[in-house]
Amino acid sequence: CTSIVAQDAKGTIWHGRNLDYGFGDFLRNITVMLDFQTKGQTLYTSTSYLGYVGALTGQRPNKFTITVDERDQGAWWMNALEALLNKKASLVSFLVRETLAEADTYDVAIQRLAYTPLIAPVYFIVGGANVAEGAVITRDRESALDIWTMNPAQGRWFVLETNYDHWEEPPADDNRRMPTMKAMNTTGQAGINASSMFQVSSTRPQFGHVVLSVPHVLNKGTTYTAIMSAAQPQVYNTWVRWP
């Protein structure tokens, strides 16, 4: 997975994500967007799969956007044990959906995602609707290990996450972070908008006309790209990708 939150030169926050997973052909056919409504008004929107009731990508209009990237730690049985022994631990996708439904500010969303016990370690990437609202929350099962925030005033106008702790170097054989950063810096803060965020999410290594199959922003596992901007909720859209 790759998730990016960026602030453009006018102070608008943009959130782009590629969801990479196995079983691509299965998942691509069942990817949908869902507008969760009460009294005819959209309370929140998510990108999901037929049959899936949680959320790994979503937006609360005019408030915040959330994406989840897997964190390469531990083993499946640790997650299963956590689920069995810790009744307070939430499924990742349930916490995201509950946060979209119940948190009514960016800060409340950050608190819920940072400190609610979880079954699995993950990254939550959160974008707001106001200047400088953007963060990557590195989670273990109990709590947040780190909350890495955007700081445009200090030149950090975007934060991004693939699947490795941002303070560590990613593995050499899966360094999607570097090409993503390069693409963002080439685009520049003045060039950031929905279309350029989609372009960054579509970056793949090419040698002339030959597409190289090395891990990249857009790779074989990418099932969809979603682009959101909480301050402009109508922007939110999702595209199935067939790399």
Interface residues toward other proteins, by CB under 8 A = 22-23, 25-26, 29-39, 43, 47, 49-54, 56, 70-80, 83-84, 91-94, 101, 119-122, 202, 224-225, 237-242
Concerning whether 1 is annotated as a catalytic residue, the answer is yes
CA dihedral 202, 208, 211, 214 (to 10 degrees): -90
Question: Least distance (Å) from other proteins to the CB of residue 157?
Answer: 27
Of 1, 109, 136, 183, which residue is the catalytic one?
A: 1
Residue closer to other proteins by CB (options 185, 237) is: 237
Task: Report helix, strand or coil for 51.
Answer: coil
Question: Least distance (Å) from other proteins to the CB of residue 54?
Answer: 6
Q: Are the C-beta atoms of residues 99 and 111 closer than 8 Å to each other?
A: no
Residue closer to other proteins by CB (options 7, 99) is: 99
Residue closer to other proteins by CB (options 139, 176) is: 139
Question: Least distance (Å) from other proteins to the CB of residue 78?
Answer: 7
Question: Least distance (Å) from other proteins to the CB of residue 88?
Answer: 12
DSSP string, 69-122: EE---S-HHHHHHHHHH-TTPBPHHHHHHHHHHH--SHHHHHHHHHHS-BSS-E
Residue closer to other proteins by CB (options 162, 238) is: 238
Distance of alpha carbon 51 from alpha carbon 64, whole angstroms: 25
Give the Cα-Cα-Cα angle 183, 189, 191 (nearest 5 degrees): 75
Residues with catalytic function: 1
